[in-house]
Every structure is written in structure tokens, then in C-alpha cells.
Amino acid sequence: MRVLVVEDDEELQVAIPAALRSAALAVDLAGDIAAADEALFVNSYDCVVFDRMLPDGDSIGYVRSRRQDGWALPVLFLTAMDKLVDRVDGFEHGGDDYLVKPFAVEELIVRVLSLCRRGPAVRPPVLRYADVELDTSRREVRRAGVLLTLTAKEFSVLEYLMARPEQAVSRADLIEHCWDANADPMANVVDVTIKRLRTKLRGSELIQAVRGHGYRLTTGGAG
């Protein structure tokens, strides 16, 4: 899953993406509303985390305007504006959640993951396919009941495939949703990650290569 963080505080520009990446999320960063608008036009995200008071204005106005145009992307306001009226305004003008600074990193992660699962189609907290079980809240994967140790990127790729069982997923789609803007689309990062996943899943039969396209999760034979 991919998240856009819109924050102008230099320390939080480092701390927030680091925390979210530790939870297997791909994270892009924007420092103001204009940069956020450009990123949202170019990329596909599962959630946006907005600071409210940014160099070019209060982000609540931007979100309210986008909501009026039918924009449905989940939004978390993360701000020092902690009065009741501020929180109410956040929800009434398009926010899906509101977290006041200072905040606990663990709470931020849980709230962002919850919003990401809302997406266009509601995603259950536990995904299951064949004998593989992926728990998005605990960040755990088991095959045949055995706990596997995956990196954050391996977890993210497997989660994306398990949310689309039997569907062919292109390498470009995986780059778009599981890596941030720094990823090189010409590199073989997807193939390398899939190779490691197959090894950790103790067999390659579940993740099938789709010639000229990408990969899919399947219990069928090789394609």
C-alpha cells in the first residue's frame, strides 16, 4: 500500500515516513498543498496524511474542495490544532480521521493502516489464499500455520497479490503501489522481491509468472 504524507516540519518529514515504512507501506512526501496536488495527480495512493497548517494554507480547504468533486481517497489530518472545534471541522470538511500532535508512532501506524484498508473496496484485516494467511494489523504471514519472516517490501508485495487472487498484476502496478517515488521502474526490484518471496513461501507454485506482464497468485500450474 502507498501513502502520501504532506508535512512541512523537517523532523517529522523524516520520522513519519520512517515509521510508516516500518509497517511495509510505501511513502511519498510533499511539503505543501501544491506539491501534494501534483503527487495526487500523478500517482495512485491508498491514503493521505495531511498536516493542516502548511506554507500555502490550511489543507482542510483543499480536502473540502476535492470532496466536493467526488474525491474519495481516505484522509488523516495530523496536526497540533487540538481544540474540539478543530477536530470537528476536520471531520465535517472531508477528513476520515484526526490525530493530534504529539502522537504515538504506534497509533499513527494503526490509524493509517485502517484507512488504507478502506480503499475503493473494503479490505479485510486478514487475507487468506490456499494455505497462506496474511494478517495486516499484526504484520504477520503464515503458511500452513508456520510463521514466516518477511521484509517490509516482501510483505507489501504479497499483500497486494493476495488482495487480487488469480488476477494478473503487472510489474508497473506493483511498482506503483508497493514502492515510493524513488523506485527505478527500469530496475528488476519486482523480480528480485518475488524470487525471495517464493523462497520464503517454500515453493514457487503459488506465485506464477505471467509472460510479458507480471505475476499472479494461483493454485494452478505454471503459465
Binned at pLDDT 50, 70 and 90, residue 214 comes out as confident
| Cα–Cα distance measured from residue 36 to residue 141, given in angstroms and rounded to the nearest whole number | 33
Amino acid at 170: S
pLDDT digits (tens, 9 = 90+) for 10-26: 999 999 999 999 888 88
Q: What is the mean pLDDT of residues 38-45?
A: 88
Who has greater pLDDT, 64 or 181?
64
Residue range(s) defining the domain that contains residue 175: 126-217
The reply to whether 160 and 100 lie within a common domain is no
- pLDDT above 90: residue 185: no
Would 51 be classed as within a structural domain?
A: yes
78-114: per-residue pLDDT in tens?
A: 988 888 888 888 888 889 999 998 899 999 999 999 8
User: Percent helix, strand and coil across the chain, each rounded to 5?
Assistant: 40, 25, 40
Query: Structural domain tally of the chain?
Result: 2
Task: Say yes or no: 87 and 174 in one domain.
Answer: no
8 and 35 part of one domain? yes
Q: Are residues 61 and 148 in the same domain?
A: no
pLDDT of residue 20: 92
CATH code of the domain in which 177 resides: 1.10.10.10
Residue 223: the pLDDT is 47
Element spanning 75, H or E: strand 75-79
Predicted TM-score of the model (pTM): 0.65
CATH number where 30 lies:
3.40.50.2300
Per the domain annotation, does 130 fall within a domain?
yes
Same domain, 102 and 27: yes
For residues 141 and 188, state if they share a domain: yes
pLDDT above 80 for 121: no
